[in-house]
Amino acid sequence: MKHILLALTLILTSYITLGATVSEFTFAQQGYKDFYINGFDSYGCSEYNFLNTVDLNGEVFPIISLKAYFSPNPGREAEVKAFLNGDVNAVAELKFSDFANGTARIWVPREKILRENSLSVCGKASFTVNSIKIMADSSYGVYYAPYFPAKDGFVLNLETYAPIIGKPFKVTAVAKNYGSVDASVKLDYRRSELEESLKELSVLDGTTSEEGVVPKCIERGANADCTKPGELGISYMVVANKAVPMTLLPAIITYTNIFGEQEKRLTNRPDFGAYDPPQLISAKISLDRDRAIVGEPTSLNVIVKNQSEEAVENAKIILSSNLEIIGEEMLETGALQKGEEKRLSFSVRGVEAGNYEINCLAQYNGREFSCETAQITIERGGIGMEIISAMVLLLIALGAFAYYYFKK
């Protein structure tokens, strides 16, 4: 019984994964032979003409399976390009690494396929590759298949791209199947790699790996174009530990394509920046007067206000200045409720004349910031210039009065 169930499971999985062939033929069946490009740094092209007799709509996918062999030492410099129907823009630009098991799958946009088609395959050898063989058993086919477009077939989204340090936010990786066949997949975020490479971020909880089925397209519009893809996703909570720009590692989707080959695709790599949380309280210095005499005590207040939506248990205010601080340098607010304001009183005096800045440091909940500062001028004692000026004016007035009085 167990063997029967296992066989049924394998059959169902194969059905979900592989899809169906509508039409397929090799270029060898059309009379073409293998094409060789020989010689270091040599270049050559071969032309393949073929007919497409299938009505192409959004449910089927034209695919060119290009087979090539590179020798003696495949390297990144060697390349193969495919051009379709005289278009100067290549429908594919391929390196050796794109030929998994010697075959590169080219998903051709259906609008580029005509009834009569001309495929030009061009190759360029390199210093390490002096021979490229384009095989005649390369093929063209039309298939029902799962389809995950490069642009949005597998995406990584963030709940916010400006997270606050210490405040968790959600990360979601979603596979979107625009194709015509369900796909059995594995989604994986590589939690250990993320935490190793990005110390500024921690994964808290959620699903970072899952196996399941991404349904085929759910709704289609004109010409059977997919308007609502089938989806499968994983989501998890993370938290930023430091206020710096960051880039997340991509998530991975693994599945078996319609040719029975295992494919791995990566999501985008979102960039975002974490920020310090906004201050819960404000603190500013308020002076009774902005001028004082040398040696004369001057009172001031530090106005502390809770500007958040939550209570702040206690805030410490530490006064800082080149003036002499009389009494306590540090005072505490006690509990501050939402919107509550408290005034903490300090006293200072200047021992020398001059202009001074008075500052303070506010500390709460393990955070600290500088208060809004104030300026004060300390002047020498004695008769000030205002009094002298007033006396001079008074003497002038008395002199004028006496002159007119005795002149009579």
SS3 at position 363: strand
Strand 291-293 vs strand 374-379: parallel, antiparallel, or unpaired? parallel
Report the C-alpha gap between 390 and 403 in whole angstroms: 20
Out of 2.60.120.260, 3.40.50.300, 2.60.120.460, 1.10.260.40, the CATH code matching 20-144 is 2.60.120.260
Q: What is the location of CATH 2.60.40.10 in the chain?
A: 154-273, 281-379
Average pLDDT, the chain: 88
The per-residue pLDDT for range 14-43, each reduced to its tens digit, is 334 456 899 999 999 999 999 999 988 899
Grade residue 383 by pLDDT with cuts at 50, 70 and 90.
low
Whether 130 shows a pLDDT value over 90: the answer reads no
Grade residue 389 by pLDDT with cuts at 50, 70 and 90.
low
Q: Is 238 exposed, middle or buried, given 0-12, 13-18 or 19+ CB atoms closer than 10 A?
A: buried
Report the C-alpha gap between 277 and 312 in whole angstroms: 14
Those residues whose C-beta lies under 8 Å from the C-beta of residue 105, and which sit 6 or more positions away, are 63, 64, 65, 257, 259
The residues pairing with 45 across neighbouring beta strands, listed in sequence order, are: 122
What pLDDT was estimated at residue 16? Answer: 41
| Average pLDDT of span 363-383 | 86
CATH class of 154-273: mainly beta
The per-residue pLDDT for range 68-125, each reduced to its tens digit, is 999 888 766 789 999 999 999 999 999 999 998 899 999 999 999 999 999 999 999 8
Q: Using omega within 30 degrees of 0 as the cis cutoff, is the peptide bond preceding 215 cis?
A: no
Report the C-alpha gap between 35 and 33 in whole angstroms: 6
Q: What is the location of CATH 2.60.120.260 in the chain?
A: 20-144
- Is the distance from CB of 317 to CB of 362 less than 8 angstroms? yes
Residue 26: closest CA among 142, 115, 143, 138 = 138
| Average pLDDT of span 272-289 | 91
Report the C-alpha gap between 161 and 292 in whole angstroms: 51
Q: What percent of the chain has pLDDT over 70?
A: 89
- The phi, psi pair for 284, rounded to 5°, reads -140, 150
Instruction: State the first-to-last Cα distance of the chain, in angstroms, to the nearest integer.
Output: 141
Whether 252 shows a pLDDT value over 60: the answer reads yes
- Is the distance from CB of 222 to CB of 249 less than 8 angstroms? no
Report the C-alpha gap between 378 and 381 in whole angstroms: 10
Report the C-alpha gap between 306 and 330 in whole angstroms: 19
- Is the distance from CB of 61 to CB of 141 less than 8 angstroms? no
Instruction: Answer whether CATH 3.40.50.300 is correct for domain 281-379.
Output: no
Whether 1 shows a pLDDT value over 60: the answer reads no
Angle made by CA atoms 261, 265, 266, in degrees to the nearest 5: 165
| Secondary structure (DSSP) of 10-65 | HHHHHHHHH-EEEEEEESTTTT---EEEESTT-EEEEEEEEE--S---TT-EEEEE
Q: Which is more confidently placed, 398 or 161?
A: 161
